[in-house]
Amino acid sequence: MTPRRARGAPQDDARPLTEPVEDYLKAIYAIEQSGEAAGTSDLATRLEIAPASVSGMVRRLADQGLVSYERYRGVRLTDAGRRAALRTIRRHRVIESYLAKALGYAWDRVHAEAERLEHAASDELVDRMAEAIGEPLTDPHGDPIPTRDGVIDETRHQRLSDLAAGQRSRVKRVSDDDGELLRYLAQIGIRPGVMVTVAERAPFDGPLSLRIGKVTVQVGPVLASRVMVELLPD
Ligand SMILES: [Zn+2]
């Protein structure tokens, strides 16, 4: 049987993309958001694959009009590539939110499920999930959820590890892909919305002493670099 598109179904530019293509576009988007041009070696690291296979895929993505590639400027998403990346990111973040809010999953367990389901869920299912939990603006880790029209809040935040002693901040987002890290953050009370003050910091990349509510905890700079914050006035 030939697949048919139901009448009235959203057309988008959605010929379905393969799972690896969606993962590449997501990775390129993430690198662009960190303010850098995506080189093939960055992509290889992020996707945990050999740099040689990245070049072939980048060529194919360019042929499909999803990225542009220049030797010294790296890989960039075209408008179509960006729309496709944001669709996958929306599916991922809505699924994480739905698992947490509707099904009571802990925040350290939703990412792995969403990594799988983001390629399988239809946009309609994802829209219904979002509606069922009140159209959240962020996922359980504080990452912004793109609207179905591809609008997303791209405010850049500082790393907690970049704050000086005495600075007050509010947690905006935490890295979502390390379950152990998330369990530890939950234990010490770090989650989006919480206020954190850097009480002291040791020189030469030593530990930071953080005040969270009434407790003080010591964390290493690596952990602090996985927490994004918004600086608050004194
Ligand atoms: Zn995630």
Note the Cα 184 to chain centre separation in Å: 19
Residues in the chain: 234
Helix ranges restricted to H, 48-148:
51-63, 79-101, 110-117, 123-132
What's the pLDDT at 7? 42
Query: How would DSSP label each residue in 207-220?
Result: -EEEEETTEEEEE-
Structure tokens at 48: 């945990």
What's the pLDDT at 14? 54
Residue 193, pLDDT > 70, answer yes
**pLDDT tens track for 122-162:** 999 999 999 999 999 999 999 999 999 999 999 999 999 99
CA 115 to ligand 1 centroid distance, Å: 7
CA 182 to ligand 1 centroid distance, Å: 11
**pLDDT tier, 106 (very low <50, low <70, confident <90, very high otherwise):** very high
Same fold, 13-154 and 158-232: no
**pLDDT tier, 15 (very low <50, low <70, confident <90, very high otherwise):** low
CA 200 to ligand 1 centroid distance, Å: 31
- Inter-CA distances, 89 with 72, 113, 141, 216, 227, Å: 27, 14, 13, 35, 20
Contact between 145 and 97 (Cβ < 8 Å): yes
CA 171 to ligand 1 centroid distance, Å: 17
CA 165 to ligand 1 centroid distance, Å: 31
CA 4 to ligand 1 centroid distance, Å: 32
- Structural domain boundaries in the chain: 13-154, 158-232
CA 11 to ligand 1 centroid distance, Å: 27
CA 96 to ligand 1 centroid distance, Å: 7
Listed as own residue / partner, the contacts of 1-8 with beta carbons closer than 8 Å and 24 or more positions apart are none
Residue 111, pLDDT > 50, answer yes
Among candidates 200, 192, 191, 190, which has minimal Cα distance to 163?
A: 200
What's the pLDDT at 37? 80
Q: Write phi, then psi, for 220 (nearest 5 degrees).
A: -80, 160
Residue 26, pLDDT > 70, answer yes
Average pLDDT for residues 73-80, to the nearest whole number?
92
Average pLDDT for residues 6-15, to the nearest whole number?
46
Among candidates 89, 100, 98, which has minimal Cα distance to 132?
A: 98
d(CA 94, CA 67) in angstroms, rounded, equals: 25
What's the pLDDT at 4? 45
DSSP state of 73: T
d(CA 141, CA 172) in angstroms, rounded, equals: 8
Residue 9, pLDDT > 50, answer no
CA 175 to ligand 1 centroid distance, Å: 8
pTM score, whole prediction:
0.88
Residue 24, pLDDT > 80, answer yes
E strand or H helix at 20, and its extent?
Answer: helix 19-33
E strand or H helix at 223, and its extent?
Answer: helix 221-224
| CATH 2.30.30.90 applies to domain 158-232 | yes
Residue 6, pLDDT > 70, answer no
CA 114 to ligand 1 centroid distance, Å: 6
Residue with tokens 């010929």: 15
Residue with tokens 């729309």: 83
CA 214 to ligand 1 centroid distance, Å: 30
| Average pLDDT value for the chain | 91
Residue 58, pLDDT > 80, answer yes
CA 108 to ligand 1 centroid distance, Å: 9
CATH tag, 13-154: 1.10.10.10
CA 88 to ligand 1 centroid distance, Å: 11
Higher per-residue confidence, 191 vs 73: 191
CA atoms within 13 A on the CB side of 84: 27
**pLDDT tens track for 34-56:** 888 888 888 999 999 998 889 89
What's the pLDDT at 2? 46
In this prediction, what percent of the chain has a pLDDT beyond 70?
94
d(CA 56, CA 47) in angstroms, rounded, equals: 14
CA 17, 19, 21, 24 torsion-angle sign: positive
